[in-house]
């Protein structure tokens, strides 16, 4: 059982939903990023999504793209991202970390070496947005064999024919992208999301967490009424980008977590 599996079991036993926060590793710099990441659990975050900076983030909107560019400009690398996770694990052995990004940096490092290093750093799961199920032998299957969850995205365009293939080797949870398009481009609507979550849950036995378009405590609360959890990324990253202090960022995250946990 991974930390992700254990977290969802514990939340279910408490009758709670999950709040997942996304931040870009190294944004705006390594030390500030580490301070924010270390503070996320006390702000109510159940699972941390740690963005891996990449030069061509095709699924990300302007807010996340700019965060990645700030991190890259500050010298952030895959190794430094793993270093950040290692530092976090010195004081927190319980909060799951999901590394979210693109395949190119992992491929460049070598899959076998990456998986050994990621496991050693305390990474629990991967979301690699540009690896479809047809490429499972590249990373998904080796990752699962190494004890890491491989979390797949489902979208409003994932029809009933495609969904079983998406679910086939997914573990940990399913990340439902509530809108079509890039991150930060629209707002999620619980009325639209609810039936889709039910459809995905019927196709497998995994928690369904909803992301994209959640930018307020009220929106987080609405989503967790119909899903197993809510992810907030762009709204948090935008606060970092405008220069909020770590304390201010974490105070905002706390309001989102309280909203998500209100059901």
pLDDT at 58 over 90: no
Q: What is the layout of strands, in order, in the sheet containing 208-211? A: 149-150, 125-128, 97-101, 47-51, 18-24, 229-232, 208-211, 174-177, 153-154
**Which of helix, strand or coil describes residue 130?**
coil
Return the pLDDT at 186: 54
pLDDT, tens digit, 9 for 90 and up, residues 100-155:
999 999 999 999 999 999 999 999 999 999 999 999 999 999 999 999 999 999 99
Is the preceding omega at residue 238 within 30 degrees of 0, hence cis? no
Return the pLDDT at 60: 87
Q: How many CB atoms lie within 10 A of CB 157?
A: 8
Sequence-distant (6+) residues with CB within 8 A of 181 are: 61
Long-range own/partner contacts, residues 111-114 (CB < 8 A, 24 or more apart) = 111/138, 111/139, 111/142, 112/142, 114/78
β-pairing, 149-150 vs 229-232, is unpaired
Contact 253, 41 (CB under 8 A): no
| Pick from 88, 108, 105, 2: nearest CA to 45 | 88
Query: Mean pLDDT across the stretch 66-90?
Result: 98
The CA–CA distances, whole Å, from 46 to 5, 16, 142, 231 equal 12, 10, 26, 10
pLDDT at 220 over 90: yes
Alpha carbons within 13 A on the beta-carbon side of 201: 14
Domains of the chain: 3-260 (3.20.20.70)
Q: Where are the alpha helices (DSSP H) in the chain?
A: 3-14, 30-39, 62-73, 78-89, 103-109, 111-121, 140-145, 163-167, 190-203, 217-224, 234-241, 246-260
pLDDT at 65 over 70: yes
Return the pLDDT at 191: 79
Return the pLDDT at 188: 62
User: Among all chains, which residue has been given the structure tokens 């994932």?
Assistant: 158
Active site residues: 49, 60
User: Among all chains, which residue has been given the structure tokens 């762009």?
Assistant: 234
pLDDT, tens digit, 9 for 90 and up, residues 7-45:
999 999 999 999 999 999 999 999 999 999 999 999 999
């Amino acid at each position: 059982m991974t930390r992700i599996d254990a977290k969802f079991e514990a939340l279910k036993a408490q009758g709670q939903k999950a709040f997942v926060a996304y931040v870009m590793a190294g944004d705006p710099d390594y030390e500030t990023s580490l301070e924010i990441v270390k503070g996320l659990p006390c702000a109510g975050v159940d699972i941390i999504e740690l963005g891996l900076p990449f030069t061509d983030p095709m699924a990300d909107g302007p807010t996340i793209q700019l965060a990645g560019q700030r991190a890259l400009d500050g010298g952030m690398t895959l190794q430094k991202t793993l270093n950040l996770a290692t530092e976090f694990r010195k004081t927190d052995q319980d909060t799951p970390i999901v590394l979210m990004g693109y395949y190119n940096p992992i491929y460049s490092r070598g899959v076998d070496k990456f998986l050994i290093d990621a496991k050693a750093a305390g990474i629990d799961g991967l979301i690699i947005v540009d690896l479809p199920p047809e490429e499972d032998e590249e990373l998904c299957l080796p990752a699962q064999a190494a004890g890491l969850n491989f979390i797949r995205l489902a979208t409003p365009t994932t029809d009933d024919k495609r969904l079983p293939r998406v679910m086939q080797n997914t573990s940990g949870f399913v990340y439902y992208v509530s809108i079509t398009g890039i991150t930060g481009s629209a707002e999620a609507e619980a009325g639209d999301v609810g039936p889709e979550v039910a459809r995905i849950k019927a196709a497998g036995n995994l928690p369904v967490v909803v992301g994209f378009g959640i930018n307020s405590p009220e929106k987080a609360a609405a989503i967790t009424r119909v899903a197993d959890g809510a992810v907030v990324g762009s709204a948090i990253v935008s606060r970092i980008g405008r220069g909020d202090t770590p304390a201010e960022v974490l105070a905002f995250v706390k309001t989102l977590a309280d909203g998500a946990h209100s059901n």
